[in-house]
Amino acid sequence: MAEQEKVAEKEKMTIVVFSGELDKALAAFMIATTGASMGMEVSMFFTFWGLNILKKDKGVSGGKGFMKKMLNFMNRGGPKRLKLSKLHMFGLGTGMMKKLMQQHALLPIDEFIIVAKDLGVKMIPCSTSCGLMGLEEEDFCEGVGSMAGAAFFINEARQSKINLFI
């Protein structure tokens, strides 16, 4: 009986999304959505610059206090503002990559977020990073889960077969 329960339990995958760059966000969402489509339970834990991926495309977000307001002014984020980690070239490289993505029918990040949500991928912003950066839950796209801390992630990772840091 215990063996049958183990078989019925879904395999889990956790991904720490630390980077807020287009190519790394693509990798994270491709892996997450592929895992979810294969029946895995997937949790993505967004921390520090990775939070930019989940931010709404709007003006300056959150931030109480001068330093947090300035940080959010200089670091507006949003899936459409992501740059390449290499060969950005003042936006030329990023534009070329987005054009190639279109030609190869690869979803833009804002659509990957929707697909991930529809597949049941949990997208969790790090509460400590949000506190440092002056971000609130309303600063994030629809479908993003509630904030949680490192202990939540460690508990998820402890139960997971696959753990990635992107």
- Count: domains in the chain: 1
Domain membership of residue 98 (yes or no) is yes
According to the model, what pLDDT value does residue 14 have? 98
Q: Is the pLDDT of residue 64 over 80?
A: no
> pTM here?
0.87
How is residue 140 annotated by DSSP? Answer: B
Domain membership of residue 3 (yes or no) is no
Alpha carbon distance 27, 29 (integer Å) = 6
Give the residue, 101 or 3, on which the prediction is more confident.
Answer: 101
Residue 165 has φ and ψ, to the nearest 5°, of -125, 115
CB burial class (10 A; 0-12, 13-18, 19+) of residue 62? middle
Domain membership of residue 4 (yes or no) is no
CATH assignment of the domain containing 91: 3.40.1260.10
Give the residue, 90 or 53, on which the prediction is more confident.
Answer: 53
Domain membership of residue 8 (yes or no) is no
According to the model, what pLDDT value does residue 7 have? 56
